Structure 1
Amino acid sequence: MKKYIRIAALIYVIVSVGFALFWMFTGGGKGVKGLVVEGYFYQTDAKPVMQGNHYHSKSKRTTSYTTSTLKRVLPWQWKERNENSYILDIMKGESFCGGNFTGYDGKFAQLTNAIIDPSRGQGRRGGENISEVLNQPEENEYYILQSGYFKLNCKKKIHYNFNSNSHLRQWINVLNTTVENPAYKVTYNSWTIAVKRYEYVNLYHTMTDFYNAFLVSKAFKMQPGNITILWIDGHPSGTLDTTWKTLFGPILRAGYIQQPSMFNHMIWGIMGYDSPLNMHDSKNVPYLEEFRFFFLSRHNIPTKSELNCTKLKIMFLWRRDYVAHPRNPSGSVSRKIKNEKELLDSAMKHFVGDDVFGIQIDKLDMKNQLKLIANVDILIGMHGAGLSHTLFLPKHAGLIELYPTYWSNANTHFKAMARWRNLHYLSWNNIDRTKELANKYTIVDVEAVTGLIGKMKRNICR
C-alpha cells in the first residue's frame, strides 16, 4: 500500500511541476510569451520622475522577457576571488567622510551619495559626428572642472593621494564637502563608473579603459548591463562607443547633465594609463581569461574554439588609412604593408587546406570583429592597436607581429598580451631601409613571414 502511495505522490509532483512550467512559459495562460524574472534586472535608462522635491529614476524589479533573451537578463556570475587575489590587494581602502569616500591603491575611489553640479563644469557636450568637428584641438574635448563640481555631505575636507599623473588628483581638488545636504534634482540609483577617456578611438587604449571598468565591476560585484558609464569628457562620437554600452550598460555624458544630480554609488574609475594592461613588464595580469569570457559573452560570442590542425584559420590583419578622430582628417596611418596580396598568395600556396585570409578589421562592428577573432588560430599583423584582439584569441592560438625599421620592437604591448595568456608568439623586424616606402608603407619579406607561419603552425600543432 505504501508503495502505491509513494508512486501517486511522485505522479502528483511531476504533474504539478509540469503545470507550473506551462503556466510560467505561457504568461499565466494570458497568451504572453516569456518568463517573468524577479530581482535580476533593474532599468536604469528610464526617464527621471518627480518624487516630492526631487527627481528619481524609476527602477523596475520585475520585467518580462522572451526565452530567447533570458540569457542576457540573468545575473553575471563573477568568479570567486581567491584570498591572495589582485582585487583583495587593491581593495584595501582608506575611508573618509564617514565612509562616503574611500580611496583604493591610489588608483580609484568609491563615493556614496555624491552630487555632480553641472554649473561647475565647462566644455563641449560631445557626441558629435566627427565630420562636424574636424581639426578641433584636443584640449577642446576635455571638461574643465571647477571647485564644487563634485560634492559630498561631510564635515572635513578629504585628503587622499592618487597617483601622480592621474586626473583623479584634479577631481579630488574640485570635490567640496559640506555639512549641509547639497541640493539636487535627479537621482541615479545604479552603480556609476566615471571615466575620463584619452585616446578614445584607439582600440588598445580603449581596451585599457574597458579592462579597468571590468576590474572595478568585479571588485564591487556590479551587474553588467545595469552599470552607468559616465564620460567626463567632450569627445565626439567614436566607433568604440557602442562597445561600452554592450559591456556595461547605459552611457551618460557629463555635458548632458542639466541639473544637480545625486549618484548613490559612484566609482571614480582607474585611469587608462594606470591599467595593469599598460604594465608590459609585469609577469602576469589578473583575470585575463575571465575578461576574455566577459567580453565575448557580453557580445553573445561563443568562448570556446576547438583546434583543428587540418584546417587552421590564418588571418592577416591589414592596417589601412581611415578617419578615426578630428586631428587626422586625412585618415593617414603608419605601419602599413605594401605587398598585402603577395603575402596572402604565398600563404595560400604554402598552406593548402588551411583557411587563409586578410581583413581590415576596423571596418567591422565589434561583434563581427570578435566573431572572427574568437576562432583565429594564427593572427599576423603590423604592430598596432588592432593586435589588442590578442586578448580574445583562443587559448591555443599564436601571434606573429611585424615591425618596420622605424618602429622599435621595444614596444611590447602585444607580445606582453601573448605572454600573459600563454599564447605562442613570433615576430619579424624589417632591417632593410630600402623596403620602407612613402606614406609609411613597408614591403614585408614574404619568404620570412611564410616561414614564420610554418613555424607557428608546428608550435601550435605539435
Structure 2
Amino acid sequence: MSMRKSSLLKILLSLFALNSVSLYLYFSSHPDHNFLHKPQSENRKTLPENHQISQFSVPTSHPKPWPILPSYLPWDQNRNVPFRSCEAYFGNGFNRRFDLLGSAAAFGGSRAASGGWFRCFYSETLRSSICEGGRVRMSPEKIRMSKGGESLDEVIGRGEDEELPAFEAGAFDIDGGGGKEVGKKLVSGESLDEFVPQGAVARHTMRSLIDSMRVVGEKDFECEQWVEEPTLLVTRFEYANLFHTVTDWYSAYVASRVTGLPNRPQLVFVDGHCKAPLEETWKALFSSLRYAKNFSGPVCFRHAVLSPLGYETALFKGLTEDINCHGASAHDLWQNPDDKKTARLSEFGEMIRAAFGFPVDYLAHPRHRGKVESRLSNEQEVFDSLKSWAANHLECKVNLVNGLFAHMPMKEQVRSIQDASVIIGAHGAGLTHIVSATSKTVVLEIISSEYRRPHFALISQWKGLEYHAINLPGSYADPAVVIDRLGRIMRSLGC
C-alpha cells in the first residue's frame, strides 16, 4: 500500500548539527594525519595455597549475553578470507595467527597447567591485530597517566599527554610458569613489526602495551586482585568525538567477536580521560566498565583481550583508502556470499540498538528538545521552512522533529535514529549515528564548503542506505533547495 493511502505513515526526522564537536576542527588540527595517537580457553589454574590469603577475585556484574541480531553472521576463523574483501575490512580478516607464549594452553595442552598464554591475530588488510592472553597481570603504578574517570570540572586545563598511557617495563606481565621464557620480554620490537606495525599512528598504545610485557615466574606472579571474566582493554584518543568513539566501539565489538567471547566482556579503559557522555553507550554495550588507574594494586586477568585502535578500523581507513563495499542483508549474503558486500555495519548498528533495549524493528514517535552549535549559518531558517512545508504537506502526515543531540542522553539519540525514515543533517560527527539506522532509512546530508569529507557517504554505502547530498558553496543553505530535494525523496517513498 502506498504512503498516500496508508494511515500509518513513516516518520520524518530532521537532524541538524547533530554534534557540537567539529570534525573539521579535528582534521584541520591534524593535517598530516600524524596522530598521538580461536577457540578460546581460560587457564583455570589453582593458586598455590600461600597465595590464597592475599589474592581475591574482583566482584563483577553478571556478564551480559549477546543479543540476537537479525544481521548477525558467524565470525569464524576462516583463513580463506580474501585480501581487501569486505569481510576482511569489516569482519574477521584477522586470520594470520602469532602464538607468543604457551601455544598449547588455548587447547588444553601441557602448558595449560604451568602458566599463561598469549597470541595475536593479524589482518593483512587492516594492518593491525587483535591480541588475547591468559593470566595477564597489570600494575597500574607502572602506567604513567592521569587517574581517569573524573568529572570534567575537576580536570579543566589538563593536557592530552597526561591522559594517554606511557608504559614502564613490567606495566603488564604474564605468568610464564616454569618455562624457559621467564625473565624475558614477551616479544622484541622487531618481532612486533610483524603483527603490530607502527603504521601512521605516532603513539601506538597497543604496541607499547605489548612491548612492556615481561614473562615472570610462577612464584613471582602475585596479584592483589583477580578478574575472572574475560576483559577487554581499550585505549581511547578522541574520546569525546562521536565519529572517533564509534570507531572505538566498532573495534571493541570486532575484538570481542573474533576472540569468540561467550558473553559481552568486562571493559577496562587503559587511559586517563575524564568521564564523558559517550560512556553511556560503552556501559550499555559491555558488561562493566572500570579505569586502569582505579585499581589499587596489581590486578590479574584470567582472560584479557586487547582491542585495536579505532584509527585501524575500516571506518577510519576509508577516509584515505578506497574501500569498495556496499551494504547487503545478512540473509542474502548467507545464500550468496559476495566479497564486495557486507552486513557487518548493519549488525553493529543492531548491536547498539539492542544494547539499549530497543527491538530492532521498533518504531515510535520521538519527542525531544534542546540547542546545539550549528554547522549552517541559517539552520533555524531551514528548520522553520521545513516545519511549514510539513504542516502544509497534505498528501501524507509528516512528523518532523528537530534532533538536537548535544542535550539528549545517548539512549534517546539512538532511539531517534532508529525511528527515522529520513534523516536530514548538516555534516558533523553526530551523523555517525546512521550506523544504527534501519535499512530503509534515507540520508540527506547538507555539506558546507568547509566540511567536505566523505565520512557519511561511505557509512551509508557500507550499510546500503540510500544517500543524497546537498553541497553548499558556503555555509548558507537555501531552504527552497532543501525542500525540493526532500520533496523528491518523499515522492520516491510514495508520499
**What secondary structure, in the 3-state scheme, does the structure 1 residue paired with 2:433 have?**
helix
Displacement of 1:286 in angstroms is: 5.5
Match of 1:80 among 56, 74, 78: 74
Q: Which digits, 9 at most, give the CA deviation of each residue in 1:419-462, with x for residues without a partner?
A: 1111111111111x4xxxxxxxx331101111111122233449
Unaligned runs of 5+ in 2: 1-50, 82-86, 104-116, 123-127, 326-341
Instruction: Report the counterpart of residue 120 of structure 2 in structure 1.
Output: 103
1:367 pairs with 2:411 = yes
Aligned mates of 1:400, 1:75 — CA distance in 2: 32
Q: CA 1:175 to 1:250, structure 2 compared with 1: closer, same or farther past 3 Å?
A: same
Q: Which digits, 9 at most, give the CA deviation of each residue in 1:115-154, with x for residues without a partner?
A: 1112211221112221222232222222222111011134
Aligned mates of 2:242, 2:324 — CA distance in 1: 23
Matches within 5 A, 1:451-462: 451-461=484-494
CA contact (8 A) 2:137 2:298 kept: yes
**What secondary structure, in the 3-state scheme, does the structure 2 residue paired with 1:386 have?**
helix
Instruction: Report the counterpart of residue 480 of structure 2 in structure 1.
Output: 447
Q: Could you say what the CA RMSD is over the residues aligned between the two structures, in angstroms?
A: 2.9
Under a length normalisation based on structure 2, what TM-score does the superposition of the two structures give? 0.69
Aligned mates of 2:385, 2:238 — CA distance in 1: 31
Displacement of 1:316 in angstroms is: 12
**What secondary structure, in the 3-state scheme, does the structure 2 residue paired with 1:193 have?**
strand
CA contact (8 A) 2:371 2:407 kept: no
Letter in 1 for 2:302: N
Q: How many residues align?
A: 375
Higher Cα Rg, which structure? 1
Letter in 2 for 1:416: L
Instruction: Report the counterpart of residue 469 of structure 2 in structure 1.
Output: 427
Aligned mates of 2:435, 2:346 — CA distance in 1: 8
Letter in 1 for 2:149: G
Instruction: Report the counterpart of residue 106 of structure 2 in structure 1.
Output: none
Letter in 2 for 1:204: F
Q: CA 1:75 to 1:371, structure 2 compared with 1: closer, same or farther past 3 Å?
A: closer
Instruction: Report the counterpart of residue 282 of structure 1 in structure 2.
Output: 323
Displacement of 1:59 in angstroms is: 7.1
Aligned mates of 1:216, 1:460 — CA distance in 2: 38
Match of 2:353 among 281, 284, 296: 296
Displacement of 1:245 in angstroms is: 1.1
Q: CA 1:423 to 1:272, structure 2 compared with 1: closer, same or farther past 3 Å?
A: same
Displacement of 1:79 in angstroms is: 4.1
1:229 pairs with 2:267 = yes
Displacement of 1:415 in angstroms is: 0.7
Query: Which has the bigger relative contact order, CA under 8 A and spacing at least 6?
Result: 2
Letter in 1 for 2:162: N
Instruction: Report the counterpart of residue 216 of structure 2 in structure 1.
Output: 178
Under a length normalisation based on structure 1, what TM-score does the superposition of the two structures give? 0.74
Instruction: Report the counterpart of residue 189 of structure 1 in structure 2.
Output: 228
Aligned mates of 1:194, 1:138 — CA distance in 2: 19
Match of 2:165 among 140, 143, 146: 143
CA contact (8 A) 2:65 2:262 kept: no
Instruction: Report the counterpart of residue 54 of structure 1 in structure 2.
Output: 55
Aligned mates of 2:417, 2:60 — CA distance in 1: 37
CA contact (8 A) 1:424 1:460 kept: no
Higher strand content, 1 or 2? 1
Q: CA 1:55 to 1:315, structure 2 compared with 1: closer, same or farther past 3 Å?
A: closer
CA contact (8 A) 1:314 1:379 kept: no
Aligned mates of 1:350, 1:398 — CA distance in 2: 22
Displacement of 1:224 in angstroms is: 4.4
Aligned mates of 1:259, 1:424 — CA distance in 2: 52
Aligned mates of 1:406, 1:316 — CA distance in 2: 29
Instruction: Report the counterpart of residue 250 of structure 1 in structure 2.
Output: 288
CA contact (8 A) 1:314 1:377 kept: no
Displacement of 1:247 in angstroms is: 0.7
CA contact (8 A) 2:165 2:205 kept: no
Q: Which digits, 9 at most, give the CA deviation of each residue in 1:91-131, with x for residues without a partner?
A: 43211112322122133211211111122112211122212
Letter in 1 for 2:98: E
Displacement of 1:265 in angstroms is: 0.8
Letter in 1 for 2:429: A
Q: Which digits, 9 at most, give the CA deviation of each residue in 1:201-246, with x for residues without a partner?
A: 1111111111111111212232445x21110111111001121111
Aligned mates of 2:251, 2:151 — CA distance in 1: 27
**What secondary structure, in the 3-state scheme, does the structure 1 residue paired with 2:141 have?**
helix
CA contact (8 A) 2:376 2:477 kept: no
Aligned mates of 1:152, 1:107 — CA distance in 2: 19
CA contact (8 A) 1:343 1:446 kept: yes
